[in-house]
Amino acid sequence: MTRRVQTPVRRLAFVGVTVVSTLSALVASTTAATPATSDDTAAERRVVAQPRETMVVIGDSYSSYYGDRHSPYPGWWATLATDLALDPVVDATGGTGFLMRNSDCAQTRFRARMDTIRQADPRLLLVEGGRNDWRRCDANGVPVESTRTQIEAAANEYFAELAVVWDQLGRPRSDVYVVSPWGTSKPRKARVIRPIIEAAAEAHGFTYVPTRPLTLAQAPDGVHPNNEGSRFLRDQILANSDLLDRFSRI
């Protein structure tokens, strides 16, 4: 699947509200009242609804294979963004990660997507990945198995660069949340890779959100969530983080 950036339409609503009040002053005369002046009447005011803030998602097929909340297969990020009253921008490519560039070795790693973050200048950033990093592409463009050292180096390089970009945007690092979802496939790889991602994220001041592995009922192929799995992943992210405390719900 090719890389995509999904940017929802933002709406800017203008609501005009007119409030008119007339103040009448009684005078000593028993037959007349002084008419209200222009100062006694409130001026017409326009209330402008500001566009919603943005949530960027950088990820792999756990994010790229799914649509917005109105699609037949809404992604975990779509329902999460609705809960947090944020507009999602998704830059995700199946098969990629901190180290891996897809099985054809022709796609981008996460580090190549910093421009999406810079351009969106989001209120919140979700980095989702790690599942594909048990492999890497060698010098000949052939997928081979990764070592622990290579995964650690790739994760640390990514988060170090992200820290620079995020600081340049003037955002607190507490607004970056990292998640590494997993299914039932390759559980031994999960026990190696997920702690590496957690340690690298936290070493650079970002928030790692633990999630339970998806069951076969939630990810029938052992990897990709169905609708139940996407809802479960959303629920896990909310339950194991402070997002609901920090963001308004619709």
Residue whose C-alpha is closest to residue 130's, from 207, 18, 223, 244: 223
Per-residue pLDDT of the chain (250 residues; tens, 9 = 90+): 333 464 443 333 333 333 333 333 333 344 444 444 444 444 444 545 556 799 999 999 999 999 888 888 899 999 999 999 999 999 999 999 999 999 999 999 999 999 999 999 999 999 999 999 999 999 999 999 999 999 999 999 999 999 999 999 999 999 999 999 999 999 999 999 999 999 999 999 999 999 999 999 999 999 999 999 999 999 999 999 999 998 865 4
CA 126 to chain centre: 4
Residue 62 is encoded by which pair of tokens? 């756990």
pTM of the model: 0.80
* Per-residue confidence (pLDDT) for residue 96, from 0 to 100: 98
Please state, in angstroms and as integers, the Cα–Cα distance from residue 115 to each residue in 8, 88, 159, 165, following that order. Answer: 18, 16, 15, 9
Which domains, from first to last, does the chain contain? 14-48 (no CATH), 52-246 (3.40.50.1110)
